[in-house]
Structure 1
Amino acid sequence: MTVQESPAAPFAVGTFATADGREFAGLVAGDRVVDLTGSGLPETTRGLLADWAAALPRLTALAAADGPRLDLADLRVLAPVEPRQVFQSGANYRTHVIDLAVAHRSAGDPRTDDEIRADTAALMDRRAAEDLPYVFTGLPSAITGPYDDIVVPDWVAKPDWELELTAVIGKEAYRVSEAEALEHVAAYTIANDLTAREAVFRRDMPEIGTDWQRSKNIPGFTPLGPFLVPSAFVGDVTGLTVRLDVNGTTYQAESTRDMIFGIARLVSYISQSARLLPGDLVLTGSPAGNGMHWGVLLQDGDVMEGSITGLGAQRNRIVRKAG
């Protein structure tokens, strides 16, 4: 993977900065970028998403037209959109959940690893049959760029990765059916949902369960992008490969086929209790291969490289902050 990998689609959109710090929304095709400033289109990606049905044909025409373009290599690639809301699906990949159940087993659990795997697999079957996804909310302040350094505070002892396919909302959705849910998804991108593993479960208050605010919402713990690839170019998202390398070693290389609940079900489910807005993100969970499973957690200087089929690639360096 290169530091700035172009999308495989005919074009995508993103947010960029010039060497002098000017930020702008742009259309990227290959290794060239069209600055949308002054084009008559909205000048932020969230603005584009707010009227995606009108923006997409204009972007298509602009991608095919001659005109001034910038070199992608000369630009800083920022997080592609500033969402108002971030919805995160937990426990949505069967194998990943089974692996985590083994890795997080309590010291007094008398079951063997095989018994834990069998019990967790049965639980996943029940969840699928009951048709109830598990979703929680994240903070937009945790988002950072796809090539930015990630600063890990000194209190985090077990920083871990979770690369995820992410749906980007392009039309307000409230109480939508599963059949119509994908009409509200404008694009897809990549998110790496970093987690402080030791902070996931509240040992002092086990009846409360998980503490996602503390374990996942540290500033910079959600690198996003590089680009928003229109859903029309992505098509069927089952069968995409989610891959993450750390220092050149592959730890995640799994298919989205292992999802328990698909994009349409997640969007519909969330919309029954929350109003999804243009630019909002729906993170769909991470497949097997997180650091807890491998016994490998992120260290100072580690470099993560993540990609999903057709969506480009991220590259982030870990910086441990003392004090």
Structure 2
Amino acid sequence: MKLGSLKTGGRDGTLIVASRDLTRAVAVPELARTMQVALDDWVHVEPRLQSVFEKLERDDLPEAFDLDVAALSAPLPRAYQWCDGSAYLSHAELVRKARGAEMPASLYSDPLIYQGAADLLLGPRDDIVLADEKWGIDLEAELAVITDDVPMGVSPADAAQHIKLLTILNDVSLRLLMPAELAKQFGFFQSKPSTAFAPVFVTPDELGDAWNGSVLSLPLISAVNGKELGRPNAGVDLDFDFPALISHATKSRGLGAGTIVGSGTVSNRDRSVGSSCLQERRMIEKIDRNEVTTPFLKFGDVIRIEMLDTNGASIFGSIEQTVVKYQVAQ
């Protein structure tokens, strides 16, 4: 089943069920007005949404309409909790190696997670609007899972059962603002603007054998201005799977329904598959040639992120964003 949200009905959008090929959709206000309402009562709402999805696939819903991806917000336009991990330590290893620093041994046993801004999440065609190119604008192609209510102290084994939906995202980073923020030893804020999400969330059954309950083993493809940046496999070189990240996040708190847990930048140690962010490519250049030639994003640049199934069909739909200069309203 595939679920999204139209940019109608207020800040939280209008929940829709989308067809598997993402060409048709139907609004379901009688079942749940918004994605959050559906997640709050998932055990009862999910079977009814699944029934609608099956009818949509049979072309048995006269109220269905052609799906315009540009009309979609993020599937959850705002979330109670967006926390992002660092599941692929090959990414962190490159960054530290480029500056001559060692990886702390604790990172291989204790995951990194930060809390991201969740009050305004971007849709798949929304622009990346920022005031200054000098901030080091970068994309980060990632996976995410969406949970129901998760109790505090959940074990990794039990955490898996709380994963209800999956998606891909672009966790925009402002690389040149990060050093000053991290030097304060209090985490990200200014260097992490709004995150953008794919057109839909999907239920795990849509992923077939690529999903084993904790790991999604398919390439995540990203491109800048039509030129491929990379296609690392999300199931390779994964130091922490999603149940491990969820368990870590619940050490001292529970997670509310609709919590989004990100994987961090998908990264493989095999450099031939490319990268999911510009910073990683820049660090490889510095290590190999002691010269950085890849620029960060500029105004007018277009990024695209997508994951295809084994038949070449788009699973979540594509994220396609343009970097745009922020203009102060007069």
- TM bin, normalised by shorter chain, reads 0.7 to 0.9
Task: Provide the residue aligned with 1:127 in structure 2.
Answer: 107
State the alpha-carbon separation in 2 of the partners of residues 315 and 74 from structure 1.
Answer: 10
Q: State the Cα distance separating 1:222 from its structure 2 match.
A: 0.5
The answer for the alignment partner of 1:80 in structure 2 is: 75
Counterpart contact for 1:32–1:69, Cα < 8 Å: yes
Q: CA deviation at 1:226?
A: 1.3
Q: Which has the higher contact order (CA 8 A, sep 6+)?
A: 1
Q: Does 1:224 align with 2:229?
A: no
Q: Which has the higher strand share?
A: 1
Letter in 2 for 1:231: P
The 8 Å contact of residues 146 and 315 in structure 1, kept in 2 or not, is answered as: yes
Number of aligned pairs? 288
Is 1:215 the counterpart of 2:194 in the alignment?
Answer: no
**Judging changes above 3 Å, is the alpha-carbon distance between structure 1 residues 22 and 292 closer, same or farther for their aligned structure 2 residues?**
closer
When the two chains are superposed, the root-mean-square deviation of aligned CA atoms in Å is 2.5
Cα distance in structure 2, aligned partners of 1:268 and 1:211: 21
Task: Tell me the TM-score normalised to structure 1 length.
Answer: 0.81
Distance (whole Å) between structure 2 residues aligned to residue 77 and residue 84 of structure 1: 20
> Structure 2 vs 1, CA of residues 265 and 155 (structure 1 numbering), >3 Å: closer, same or farther?
same
Greater Cα shift, 52-61 or 274-283: 52-61
Cα displacement (A) at 1:160: 0.8
SS at match of 2:303: strand
Q: Is structure 2 residue 260 aligned with structure 1 residue 281?
A: yes
1:264 Cα offset (Å)? 0.6
Aligned residue number for residue 7 of structure 1: none
Structure 1, gaps ≥5 residues long: 1-10, 106-110
Q: 1:146 to 1:126 in 2, by over 3 A?
A: same
CA shift, 1:280, in A, is 1.2
- Aligned equivalents of 1:50, 1:152: Cα separation in 2: 33
Does residue 98 of the first structure (1) align with residue 100 of the second (2)?
no
Q: Which residue identity is paired with 2:297? A: L
- Of 64, 67, 70, 1:69 maps to 64
State the Cα deviation string for residues 246-293 of structure 1 (Å, max 9, x = none).
001111311122221000100111011222111111011102322123
Aligned to 2:244: 265
Q: What are the ranges of 5 or more consecutive residues in structure 2 without an aligned counterpart? A: 268-274, 282-293, 309-314
Q: CA deviation at 1:74?
A: 7.7
| Residues 190, 226 of structure 1: 8 Å contact kept | no
Letter paired with 1:89: G
Partners of 1:156 and 1:71 lie apart in 2 by 40
Amino acid at match of 1:88: D
Say whether 1:44 aligns with 2:40: no
Distance 1:22 1:293 in 2: 34
User: What amino acid maps onto 1:232 in structure 2?
Assistant: D
Query: Aligned residues: percent identity?
Result: 24
Q: TM-score, normalised by structure 2?
A: 0.80
Q: 2:319 aligns with which of 305, 314, 318?
A: 314
